[in-house]
A and B are shown apart, each in its own frame.
Chain A
Amino acid sequence: MNPAEAVSSHTIAVLVDNEPGILARVVGLFSGRGYNIESLTVAQTDARQNLSRITIVTSGTPMVIEQIKAQLDRLVPVHKVHDLTLEGPHIERELALVKVKGTGDKRVEALRLADVFRAKVIDAKTDSFVFEVTGTSDKVRTFVGLMESLGLVDVGRTGTVAMTRGGEAF
């Protein structure tokens, strides 16, 4: 396939003013221009300067990804836009809470797999567990998949947060 037409996934970190409507601006930009959002994570990260960091996982051709970044960059409350996928090595993590209900062998197997995935038990009843699992999206997805046959009741996922490796900001 022509590399210009190949669709790839990019993780973009955006530093924005933590003000009402900022998330609507970003999400509206994506829906209005027909871009994908695979994952979106937002929270205030700098209380002193009142800034939030938005981590977006999106996909598109190189031209579309370039557009997404340029469009984000021209939003007035946006301070910085970083394409972590392009800018070099970075780490991505996601957290999930996974509720599993069951007794007997299934319960034991769930606990054993949780141990393999280094998931923590954060709530337990005699017939249920809530696991906290962190890792790449892929790992979280695999863990949730395994729990399906073991009494999976509910999943809550945070979406991806990401950061560059090394001492540089972003």
Chain B
Amino acid sequence: MKPEESATTGADLLVKALIDEEVEVVFGYPGGAVLPIYDSLFKQNRLRHILVRHEQAAVHAAEGYARSTGKVGVVLVTSGPGATNAVTGLTDALMDSVPVVCLTGQVPTHLIGNDAFQEADTTGITRPCTKHNYLVKSVEALARTVHEAFYVARSGRPGPVVIDLPKDVLMNKHDYIAPKKPIEHKSYKPQTKPDPKRIEQAVELIAKAKRPVFYTGGGVVNAGPKASKLLTQFVHMTGYPITNTLMGLGTFPASDKQFLGMLGMHGTYEANLAMYHCDVLINIGARFDDRITGKLAEFSPKSTKIHVDIDGSSINKNVRVDLPIVGDAGQALEDMIKLWKAKQPRTDHKALKAWWAQIDEWRGRKCLAYKQGKETIKPQYALERLYHFIKDRDYYITTEVGQHQMWAAQFLKFEQPNRWMTSGGLGTMGYGFPAAMGVQIAHPDALVIDVAGEASIMMNIQELSTVAQYRLPVKIFILNNQYMGMVRQWQELLHGGRYSESYMESLPDFVRLAEAFGARGLRCHEPAKLDDTIKEMIAIKGPVIVDVGVDKAENCFPMIPSGAAHYDMLLGPDDRAAKPVSEEGMVLV
């Protein structure tokens, strides 16, 4: 056979490369520049394409898919507006270290730079919001670039990778060469195996601790389900307390008595005080984000800090640590467990007993308490009841961003990783609903719930159409307080209660909106009817919007006001007057 006869078009080649990367689903939206790819997709049945209604949703759906499976999520969008619409999703994936490969169409190579129709400098625009990006300039480089992109997206600290594909490259012909595995990248070789000397030092420090705390994050999720098992094993071996970041929820079973709950701005009293008073801080796969540390100068001032991270640039970025360990979280935990077993160190039982007594005293403050009356539903109560009815099922939770997100993190419990998908770093309103679609595609029979606010859900509400098309039984559980609740809360606390533009006027009738898209809509305002509503939602086989009218004035506590230290928490509405927010803190977000 002559090479011309065996050669395939760039678009066909791309599809082959995706199949070789074990891609099953692509979330996308067609357009002029990617028509050859859509033609190739049409001619095969290995790859499933999910047609979203906005490119941002395609990326969030791919993120939901990736985070609930551990695989790379794949996005396909056209040039120009297709690519620019994807930017928010890409930034979100970058901030939360989600492996995504985003294929963007581009005008033909000879038109690049000519301000052609639907042209945008996609590699230029996405350079700061991707882990890496490529402009493929010839069909010869296409397959190799795709395989390299998947390697980069999933290796080390995962992240989004863009491949910009000019239309002529997609139409030119070339032979497909299957990738060599494993890929040997010439420059990108992240360190996964931690330095054994440092592991030894870490184990020594951990063994000698008097007031230790584990502080673990999304890095443990990204290290695979085994890492969470190892974490649980190691924490049990030591008997030490553990707190999770927002991204790390599920890496340690929430029902375990060693679990202190989430830490940070809306974390528990016991978790934050344990961070402040501890003498050894064991950070595994978390990045000392400003939502976690509060006032840096007073962050965990008495502790010796161990930090395990696969990304060297996360170490000593915000907080100076005493023992940095670059490596994979799972690998580090495995090494620590091995050494711990070999050494059988004697921990300081007396000191630990006193430490746990102190922690129990902090727990006694019951910082998540709220008062549920007969008249209106408290958002916390709605989530507690939701949890009550889902806890024995196979459930996945996504959220939007705001008060409802923090309450969901506080009141829903996760026993295993990959079950909790939320926008942590970027804080993207509109994330949860499309992410839930991605989760549902990956887990067709699971119960997938997007805990939403009425403001956030409006940001990607068009996806109701996608849900209808693919009959995705996603449940949208709206805590409707008719405000952008977190904005309103800050205006109340910091801006004298001047609720500038935070009231949601002209909200749709969510029940009828659901019905307009062939979904079911439920509404509930009375505490007495909440249980039945939740049960009905779960019983319905298809997509459901539940509009739960909740207390409009409820604020999310505990709260560390911005610029304050961990010990300076507001525990409830009555606590506020005593601790006015400093000028310095007001500047912070």
Please report A residues at the B interface, Cβ cutoff 8 Å: 4, 17, 20-21, 24-25, 28, 32, 63, 66-67, 70-71, 73-79
Contact = CB atoms under 8 A, between A and B. Distances in A.
B439 interface: no
A139 B124 CA distance: 38
Contacts of A73: 312-313
Contacts of A67: 313, 316-317
Contacts of A78: 187
Interface residues of B, number: 21
B353 interface: no
A76 B127 contact: no
Contact of A24 (B127, B157, B320): B127
B559 interface: no
Interface stretch (B128-136, B211-219, B279-287, B447-455): B128-136
A70 B315 CA distance: 9
Interface of B: 123-124, 127-128, 131-132, 135, 152, 156-157, 186-188, 190, 311-313, 315-317, 320
B188 A76 contact: yes
A74 B127 CA distance: 14
Contacts of A17: 186-187
B195 to A, nearest CB: 16
A67 B156 CA distance: 18
B381 to A, nearest CB: 43
B320 A21 contact: no
**Considering the complex of A and B, which 7 residue pairs feature the smallest CB-CB distances, nearest first?**
A70-B313, A76-B132, A70-B312, A79-B187, A76-B188, A71-B313, A32-B128
B128 A28 contact: yes
B282 to A, nearest CB: 21
B124 A24 contact: yes
A25 to B, nearest CB: 6
Nearest to A31: B128
A76 B124 contact: no
Given A70-B313, A74-B157, 9 more contacts: A17-B186, A17-B187, A20-B135, A21-B127, A32-B128, A63-B320, A67-B313, A70-B315, A73-B312
30 contacts: A17-B186, A17-B187, A21-B123, A21-B127, A21-B135, A24-B127, A25-B127, A28-B127, A28-B128, A32-B128, A63-B316, A63-B320, A66-B316, A67-B313, A67-B316, A70-B313, A70-B317, A73-B313, A74-B157, A74-B190, A74-B311, A74-B312, A74-B313, A75-B132, A76-B131, A76-B132, A76-B152, A76-B187, A77-B187, A78-B187
A67 B62 CA distance: 31
Nearest to B132: A76
A79 B187 CA distance: 5
A71 B157 CA distance: 13
Nearest to A20: B135
Contacts of A76: 131-132, 152, 187-188
Contacts of B123: 21
A74 B124 CA distance: 19
A4 B316 CA distance: 12
B131 to A, nearest CB: 7
Nearest to B312: A70
A32 B313 CA distance: 15
Nearest to B188: A76
A65 to B, nearest CB: 11
Mostly, the A contact residues are helix
A17 B134 CA distance: 13
A71 B312 CA distance: 8
Contacts of A71: 313
Contacts of A4: 320
A1 B442 CA distance: 56
Contacts of B124: 24
Contacts of A63: 316, 320
Contacts of A20: 135
A63 B319 CA distance: 10
A63 B316 CA distance: 7
A129 to B, nearest CB: 40
A25 B130 CA distance: 11
A70 B313 CA distance: 5
Contacts of A28: 127-128
Contacts of B156: 74
Nearest to B137: A20
B290 to A, nearest CB: 15
Contacts of B315: 70
A102 B499 CA distance: 69
A17 B188 CA distance: 11
Contacts of B317: 67, 70
A71 B156 CA distance: 14
Nearest to B130: A76
B108 to A, nearest CB: 17
Contacts of B316: 63, 66-67
A74 B186 CA distance: 13
In this complex, the member of B123, B187, B188, B320 whose beta carbon has the largest number of chain A beta carbons within 10 angstroms is B187
A4 B123 CA distance: 37
Nearest to A73: B312
Contacts of A74: 156-157, 190, 311-313
A69 to B, nearest CB: 9
Nearest to B156: A74
Q: Which of A21, A74, A77, A78 has the most CB of B within 10 A?
A: A74
B416 to A, nearest CB: 30
Contacts of A24: 124, 127
Contacts of B188: 76-77
A86 to B, nearest CB: 15
A146 B160 CA distance: 52
A28 B123 CA distance: 12
Chain A CB within 10 A, most for which of B127, B156, B315:
B127
B488 to A, nearest CB: 32
A73 B312 CA distance: 9
A15 to B, nearest CB: 9
A63 to B, nearest CB: 6
A169 B124 CA distance: 33
B183 to A, nearest CB: 13
B502 to A, nearest CB: 30
Nearest to A49: B186
Nearest to B314: A70
Contacts of A77: 187-188
A76 B317 CA distance: 20
